[in-house]
Amino acid sequence: MTKYQNQTRLLAAVDCIIFGFDGNALKLLLVQRAIQPEKGRWSLMGGFIQPAEDADTAALRILKKLTGLEGVYLEQLHTFSGPHRDPIERTLSVTYFALIDIHQYEKQLSDEYHAEWFPLTEIPSLIFDHSEMVKMAREKLRYKAALHPLLFELLPKKFTLPQLQNLYECVYDTSFDKRNFTRKVLSTRLLVKQKDKDKGSSKKGAFFYKLDNRHYKAHFHSFLNIIPNPPIK
């Protein structure tokens, strides 16, 4: 097959930015890099796209190999293409991000590559431009969460309003007035109150809620009112 003349070879890779919530803190899933350069340092889940793969397939394969996680929804974020981002060879990286409930996937997590969850406030130094990738993913998360109920992907099927508020505060790195937040959330008509309570945090306990999937499409725009000043994309 004829090749393009006078062109330099570029490698293509993928990196996966996995955010998780454990009910208390928003976290990032990292692995220890297994190859040189930077072997042993903390890294996002990444690897090269193989000749017979597209980027989506490669991302799912690499995530399964490095963490044991599968069935995780990945959304393409951005292509990082700086000429010097990899010191070995010119490599483009297609990044993906995902949101998961940590407790739902904790049994899947493989120990082979030492994947660990780190609170976003305690992220260690990362290889190459991975810190820039995480920063961009956080900005995208804040933008999208202000427009629709994206953050429910981080919660169990049943959750309390304090858990939901804690999640929003973690994502936006701010505090919300409890009474005002509760009023706005319940006004969306997207939550169904359950009969049982979570009594693990207090004697009185807090009622569980579920997302009302039946009215999701009709009322999801009402979540625009939860965040006073949604970030601009």
Domain boundaries, given as residue ranges, for the chain: 11-145, 150-225
- Quote the CATH superfamily of domain 11-145: Nucleoside Triphosphate Pyrophosphohydrolase (3.90.79.10)
Distances (CA, A) of 118 to 106, 115, 128: 14, 10, 18
Please give the pLDDT value at position 223.
62
Strands 11-21 and 191-198: unpaired
Please give the pLDDT value at position 152.
81
> Which residues are registered as beta bridge partners of 27?
20, 119
Only one residue has tokens 């890099």, namely 33
Pick the CATH number of 150-225 from 1.10.357.10, 3.40.190.10, 1.10.10.10, 3.40.50.2300: 1.10.10.10
Please give the pLDDT value at position 34.
86
User: What are the per-10-residue average pLDDT scores of the chain (233 residues)?
Assistant: 82 96 91 90 95 96 90 92 94 94 83 87 96 96 78 87 91 90 86 86 80 70 61 47
Please give the pLDDT value at position 106.
80
